Structure 1
Amino acid sequence: MQHFEHLKLEDLKIKPAVAENSYLFKANIPEYPKPEFHVSLLKHETTREGLQGIYTDGGFRDPNGGFRDPNGLSLIWWSLAVGPEEINDAETRLLEKTFPGVKVEDPEQQKFLWKFATSPAFLETSRLGSFRFTFPLEEVLTAYRDQICSGAEPVMRVYKTVLYKQEVMYVVLVHSPEFDKKFSKYPLLKDDPNAVCVYRDGRFIWRSEAMCETHWYELNIRDLNQMEARRLPNHQFYVWDHVAVALHVENTEKVLKFEVNKLQQNFKYCEEGGGTYRSNYTDLDVAKDLVFKFWPDWPGPLEVERSLQLSYPGKTYELCINDFMFPSQI
């Protein structure tokens, strides 16, 4: 764990504490893109117990009261929600940066970036629980400003880089300006063109260092000013990265509240993803009963995000689909 920095992979490798990480130091990782994602949505994933707490409180809080944070901070955790639109936009930016002055609408240029978006950061399945709330970033920041910061603009800082066995997590700390002195040792999140993550114009800009996790393709730059994903005969496992946003609350019982209709509007059920942190996932039928018990006036269907696996020789593709479970079906 490296406090005060968002370390790129090459900088992370020279830290003595990570010398034993077998994934980070793997050689012969195929060439892959490092695009720039512009993200305006945050997601919060939780378990059945967490959902019940959100229902009871009318919003989000730190259920552990700061006891699980190494620094004793009470934090409400979110992460960037990156979907197909953000991936397509990032692909366009990557082409424009790689081939300046070249028309990116070339009909011969095939979509390629989605083939590299194989890490949990891009999947609709969840590693943290069966229930996901996805909110516009500005809505979360506005609620935080009004409820936690007494109307003042929140402050964003570089909190830390966390390296797990195969996962690199870049954490942005958001706090009230009231606690500027308390957090002064953490650098401000500046609009640095070389930074892993910055905030600009209502969006987080994430320059991913490792978007694949499982490498099925190699990035190939063709002579015709085109990029392509070239299929590999054998896949490779590597580290993957993502950005988490930690909202600080000094009072451990403080709740970041949202109107009931907002919670309902921004809620979906998720299937369990690979490499999960928790084992207490909720069956879909149980989840439907739970949701309609909490909110009998639920406005229409319960949306379900699940991955549809399509198998081809040597590879299983995970596609995202939406399903709808109406109250009459429970």
Structure 2
Amino acid sequence: MKRRNNRDVKETYFEGQHLSLSDLKEEEIENGYLYKNNIPAYPESVKFRVQKVSHVTGKQGLRGIFRNSGFRQPSELVASDQRHFLWWDLSVTSDDISSAEERFLTSLFPRRSAAQIQNQSPILNQFTSSKAFQKDSSYGNFRFTFSFKELLWHYGKQFCGDQSPVLRVYETVLYRREVLYKVLVHPHDINLYDHYPRLPDQEDGVCGYDGAMWWRCQAPSETYKLKLEVNKLNRSVYVSPHREEYYVWDHVCVAFHMEPGWVLHVDQNKLLKSVNACETSKPCLLRAPETPLSLNEAERVLAHLKASMR
């Protein structure tokens, strides 16, 4: 199905499903990048286990979060007739990448010797170059990062009567060069989403939750300049140069259901520890009247705010 989102961007979306790239290709969607067959070999379906999530905002959003001691829907979105969500992205660390690479190599070569393991050079960090792995953001200069488990605890305590919230498979959304998997979080007594499947906790599917978010990344780069080479004899992998090719990239975000007026409260000291400045990447998706800042400007704003709260 097709629609325009609240930023007036065209989307192809599939409700209640997390469709893999191969599943999407069977849908016969009009998308030239999805069907490219000249993409060099790369690490596919690499399983990441991610403990943290992040929320990025602009200068006014930063001040609003500290003023409210927590996170809420922007007033201009609350006024709309759309469902109200608080959005978080998976925050993939260098340790997450290293662990994912080890799982990937073990799946390729279950019986590597100690010497083969020691002699293997890291390769996955050369492919994890999409926006899913970058420190900058299209959504602003101020990134709040929390343990996903801790965030679920805060949400459950405040909105779910101390029960664990429900996690569901919400949507797959396809853009021109981006595949987005949406995970939904909501209280048990909100029945709007009963027709969406529960998010799996086992190994089945694109992503799930078992105390950490796991995600099978199928396209870790937007641009491929390297080719993955597999040496079965030596049980090792390496990379070789390749002509530049553009492709789709995939990522996961988490949508917390928020009623108008709800604020997901977090202690001010935890807010201070969780926030850092980052650069704004293109395309800039800040909502007016927010404007992007340079990294130096953002760091000064954040330093001033922290000093004012001591």
TM normalised by structure 2 equals 0.88
Picking from 227, 240, 246, the partner of 2:249 is: 240
Q: Which runs of 5+ in 1 are unaligned?
A: 300-330
> CA distance change for structure 1 residues 157 and 110 in 2, over 3 Å: closer, same or farther?
same
Distance 1:298 1:136 in 2: 23
**Higher deviation after alignment, 183-192 or 87-96:** 183-192
Q: Which residue of 1 aligns with 2:273?
A: 265
1:77 has 2:87 as partner: yes
Q: Which residue of 1 aligns with 2:59?
A: 48
Q: Which residue of 2 aligns with 1:158?
A: 169
Contact 2:284 2:292 in 1 (8 A): no
> CA distance change for structure 1 residues 191 and 15 in 2, over 3 Å: closer, same or farther?
same
- 1:32 Cα deviation from its structure 2 partner: 1.1
Picking from 212, 215, 220, the partner of 2:221 is: 212
Q: 1:287 aligns to what SS in structure 2?
A: helix
Alignment RMSD (CA, Å): 1.9
Contact 1:292 1:298 in 2 (8 A): no
Q: Which residue of 1 aligns with 2:14?
A: 2
Distance 1:189 1:221 in 2: 34
Per-residue CA deviation, residues 73-115 of structure 1 (Å, 9 max, x unaligned), is: 1110001000110000000011111111224662321110000
How many equivalent residue pairs?
Answer: 291
- 1:47 Cα deviation from its structure 2 partner: 1.2
1:186 has 2:196 as partner: yes
Q: 2:172 aligns to what SS in structure 1?
A: strand
Q: Which residue of 1 aligns with 2:25?
A: 13
- 1:165 Cα deviation from its structure 2 partner: 1.1
Distance 2:138 2:167 in 1: 26
Aligned residue identity for 1:277 = L
- 1:22-101 correspondence runs (5 A): 22-34=32-44, 35-63=46-74, 64-66=76-78, 72-101=82-111
Q: Which runs of 5+ in 2 are unaligned?
A: 1-12
Contact 1:113 1:229 in 2 (8 A): no
Q: 1:280 aligns to what SS in structure 2?
A: coil
> CA distance change for structure 1 residues 68 and 211 in 2, over 3 Å: closer, same or farther?
farther
How much identity, in percent, do the aligned residues show?
36
TM normalised by structure 1 equals 0.83
> CA distance change for structure 1 residues 12 and 292 in 2, over 3 Å: closer, same or farther?
same
Q: 1:177 aligns to what SS in structure 2?
A: coil
More helix by share: 2
> CA distance change for structure 1 residues 68 and 162 in 2, over 3 Å: closer, same or farther?
farther
